[in-house]
Amino acid sequence: MEDYKRKYEEWLNNPFFDEATRAELLAISGDEKEIEDRFYKDLEFGTAGLRGVIGAGTNRMNFYIIRKATGGLANYINKQHKAAPAVAIAYDSRHMSPEFAKEAALVLAGNGIKAYLFESLRPTPQLSFAVRELKCIAGINITASHNPPAYNGYKVYWEDGAQITPPHDIGIMDEVRAVTDYSAVKILDEESAISEGLLEIIGKDIDDLYINTLKEQVLHPEAIAEMAKDIKIVYTPLHGTGNVPVRRVLKELGFENVFVVPKQEKPDGDFPTVSYPNPETAEAFTLGLKLAKEVDADLILATDPDADRLGVYVKDGMGEYHVLTGNMSGCLLADYEIAQRKAVKGLPEDGYLVKTIVTSNLARAIADYYKIECKEVLTGFKYIGQQILLSEQTGKGTYLFGFEESYGCLIGTYARDKDAVSASMALCEAAAYYKLPKGHSNGMTLWEAMCNIYNTLGWYLEDVYSITLEGIEGAKQMQKLMEAFKVNPPLAFGVDKVLRIRDYKKGEISDCETQAVSPTGLPKSDVLYYDLDDDGWVCVRPSGTEPKVKVYFGVRGNSAAEAKEKSAAIKAAVLKEVDGILKD
């Protein structure tokens, strides 16, 4: 009998597993493909935690997988020998999120670790904030971010408020793998956990602290006071956690004209108005754009289900709406925050901006313009958080702004994950500032402010292409694709010559002309990056959370038209390269 069949029979017949689980598995009896997919592997606890389809099986999100993950985390925490360790737990609007969050809390309690559990759904950045505010050793967030409705996930944070990085990620993964007997995981009942002081429900106090901290990040309250009544904002939480905090912070700052998309206002794990609750997609804005045209809104904001990513449309002076990609909104906010901090407070000599390797090179151009350092890190906001921690530990460097292309940024250091709530607030502040009829901005729209950056620094344009490769065969194809790029690296993409190849798994940068090899200076990761002529680039990496290989690329042109032409040419060359490998 094959291994996946043995695991299926074990789950089906072992009385330890509950009746609902056995009934679900009995219903797929005879469906070999489904049984194989559910049991051919254990849902992998990686550096981003867990993410998978909800259901029974070792390759699914369910109570037993939550127990295993939390049991391993608890073992790791207890080996840190910290007095009275505590963990903060939050969750989003997805199916089973409240139940999984409580299960994790009770496993922690069973292992003598106090759990601070939010009373209801909260955004990811607030969990990061709570970890620091409550002086927890770790945090857990039950969320699958912007994945389809069938998914849920489990993210782990460490005491600095960022998602786990080395050495803690490796240590926790080892402990989770060491849990092989589900029945051996210790768990306490809810009543006992509360009476023993190992479970505390939290809410309003942390909410108030979080919102007040966000408001402290505002640079131009006088611009908001003068212009807030003239700014019209359409907002959609996409059925997720952003509805309450985004509306609250905007209201408390004085923005009166906030119109929430009615059909997307309430939390709903089915995400009934979208097939994919992702603010990176045009579909997410269909209802928001309709409402914006009705009320003549200046900008449209959409947060993903756990409110760490923000999608944006802005209106130009002619009344047309333009989408801002994550790179665009990140650069617009970076320029605003750095320029206005310089004007209001002055810039520190050791100030820096942080971007990930797949984020627009316009970020580096902005940093150069303001004469600050631009630090580059691996993909994943936790590495941006790591830079903030390093500055705190060494006393060197002042964090000014950090963002990644996947629609996430952080203003301030109160949290260590991307925050769509504060980004929403900051964009509305910027809209008010730029709309002032006199002074620096002369009544600009956000779109005009974006175009000003391009006209000053160059027209940078980025794109990403995802190749979905699911199941066992997909995993093999993914490996084949990455190996082909390594063994036979392209020396050009179309007419654009490759200048340098960065192999982050090897930790090496190879100069294609001189053959010189230098270190990347970053942790090892399965990522390939190609520096091209004129600030162009291509990057190939497997997704850390989905069965996909992502191909990113960016160009710089002297005009919008030139940038589009160069981008289309590179995309065609990249797709030709990929298709050739997969069809071989």
Nearest to 384 by CA among 376, 392, 373: 376
Q: Which residues have a Cβ under 8 Å from the Cβ of 40 and sit 6 or more positions away?
A: 3, 4, 59, 472
A 10 A CB-CB count for 580 gives 10
> Band of the pLDDT at 440, cuts 50, 70, 90?
low
Shared domain check, 410 and 507: no
Q: Residue 246 burial (CB < 10 Å; 0-12/13-18/19+)? A: buried
- For residues 204-219, average pLDDT: 98
Supply φ then ψ for residue 539, to 5 degrees: -135, 135
> Band of the pLDDT at 544, cuts 50, 70, 90?
low
Q: Is the pLDDT of residue 442 over 70?
A: no
Cis peptide before 542 (omega within 30 of 0): no
State residue 208's pLDDT score: 98
Nearest to 103 by CA among 57, 70, 151: 70
**What radius of gyration, in Å, describes the C-alpha atoms of the chain?**
24
What type of residue is 414?
Answer: Y
- For residues 304-322, average pLDDT: 96
Which residues pair with residue 511 across a beta bridge?
A: 500
Q: Is the pLDDT of residue 438 over 90?
A: no
State residue 187's pLDDT score: 97
Does some domain include residue 25? no
> Band of the pLDDT at 466, cuts 50, 70, 90?
confident
Shared domain check, 483 and 366: no
Shared domain check, 300 and 217: yes
Q: Is the pLDDT of residue 293 over 80?
A: yes
- pLDDT tens column, 101-122: 999 999 999 999 999 999 999 9
Q: 């493909």: which residue's tokens?
A: 33
Q: Is the pLDDT of residue 483 over 90?
A: no
Average pLDDT, the chain: 94
State residue 224's pLDDT score: 97
Report whether 241 contacts 204 (CB < 8 A).
no
DSSP designation for 154: E
> Band of the pLDDT at 536, cuts 50, 70, 90?
very high
Does some domain include residue 5? no
Which helix or strand (DSSP H or E) is residue 461 part of? strand 459-468
**Domain limit, last residue, from 202, 234, 268:** 202
Which of these ranges, 12-16, 247-251, 304-308, 466-470, has the smallest mean pLDDT?
466-470
What is the C-alpha separation between 190 and 102, in angstroms, rounded?
Answer: 9
Does some domain include residue 27? no
Cis peptide before 490 (omega within 30 of 0): no
Shared domain check, 151 and 246: no
* CATH number of the structural domain spanning residue 498: 3.30.310.50
Shared domain check, 484 and 399: no
Shared domain check, 268 and 243: yes
State residue 126's pLDDT score: 98
Q: 């009896």: which residue's tokens?
A: 29
**Domain limit, last residue, from 456, 488, 504:** 456
- For residues 474-502, average pLDDT: 87
What pTM was computed for the model? Answer: 0.93
Report whether 222 contacts 250 (CB < 8 A).
no
> Band of the pLDDT at 543, cuts 50, 70, 90?
confident
What is the C-alpha separation between 1 and 71, in angstroms, rounded?
Answer: 30
Does some domain include residue 316? yes
**Domain limit, last residue, from 434, 456, 478:** 456
Which helix or strand (DSSP H or E) is residue 450 part of? helix 446-457
Residue 576 lies in domain: 459-583
Domain count, the chain: 3
Does some domain include residue 59? yes
State residue 486's pLDDT score: 87
Residue spans of beta strands (DSSP E) within 93-242:
114-118, 138-142, 151-158, 199-202, 232-236
What is the C-alpha separation between 384 and 410, in angstroms, rounded?
Answer: 9
> Band of the pLDDT at 497, cuts 50, 70, 90?
very high
Q: Is the pLDDT of residue 1 over 60?
A: no
Shared domain check, 291 and 184: no
What is the C-alpha separation between 402 and 204, in angstroms, rounded?
Answer: 28
Shared domain check, 481 and 446: no
**Sheet bearing 232-236, strands edge to edge:** 257-260, 232-236, 299-303, 310-315, 321-324
- pLDDT tens column, 378-399: 999 999 999 999 999 999 999 9
Does some domain include residue 384? yes
* Displacement of CA 72 from its chain's centroid (Å): 24
> Band of the pLDDT at 470, cuts 50, 70, 90?
confident
> Band of the pLDDT at 494, cuts 50, 70, 90?
confident
What is the C-alpha separation between 55 and 152, in angstroms, rounded?
Answer: 10
Does some domain include residue 17? no
User: What residues are annotated to the active site?
Assistant: 145
Shared domain check, 421 and 330: yes
- For residues 278-294, average pLDDT: 97
Q: Summarize the chain as % helix, strand, coil (round to 5).
A: 45, 20, 35
Shared domain check, 428 and 514: no
Shared domain check, 473 and 450: no
Shared domain check, 337 and 367: yes
- pLDDT tens column, 69-96: 999 999 999 999 999 999 999 999 999 9
* CATH number of the structural domain spanning residue 283: 3.40.120.10
Does some domain include residue 555? yes
